[in-house]
Amino acid sequence: MEPKKLNQILKDHELWLLDPTKGKRANLCNANLRYADLSNADLYRADLRYANLSNSDLRYADLRYANLRGANLDCSCWPLWCGSLNAIIDDRIKAQLLYHFLSVAPEFKTKRLVKFANTFHRIPEVPKLKENKK
């Protein structure tokens, strides 16, 4: 998506958040936002279903209640602050986040979590996780 068009959508969305009778909720369904700089973007309650957000910068983006079902977040920067709480995600993204979490926090590996994390769509490229043996 062209930066000018994206900026206008984000401006309209900010107006909508302040007053739903003004502006317009961001509808970025199926948008190609690959490599987009969305750092600090207010995407609260935005519709990002099936958007290609690969390699995008989401640092400090407000993704609370944003609909990210079906979105491609590969190689993007997921915000690890309260702005990503309550984002609406599907099992594909859940498995991806869980895989990464268990990779850095192996003490949380359980049979159930490892099984789900190993549904991560990049498993052909990365090793499957193994549960902790007691």
Q: What is the pLDDT of residues 68-121, one digit of tens each?
A: 999 999 999 888 889 999 999 999 999 999 999 999 999 999 999 999 999 999
Mean pLDDT on 124-131 = 94
CB 102 within 8 A of CB 117: yes
Q: Output the pTM of the full model.
A: 0.90
* CB contact at 8 A, 78 and 97: yes
**Which pair of tokens denotes residue 2?**
């062209």
Query: pLDDT higher for 133 or 77?
Result: 77
Helix (H) or strand (E) holding 92: helix 91-104
- Six-digit token string for 73: 């977040």
CA 72, 74, 75, 77 dihedral sign is: positive
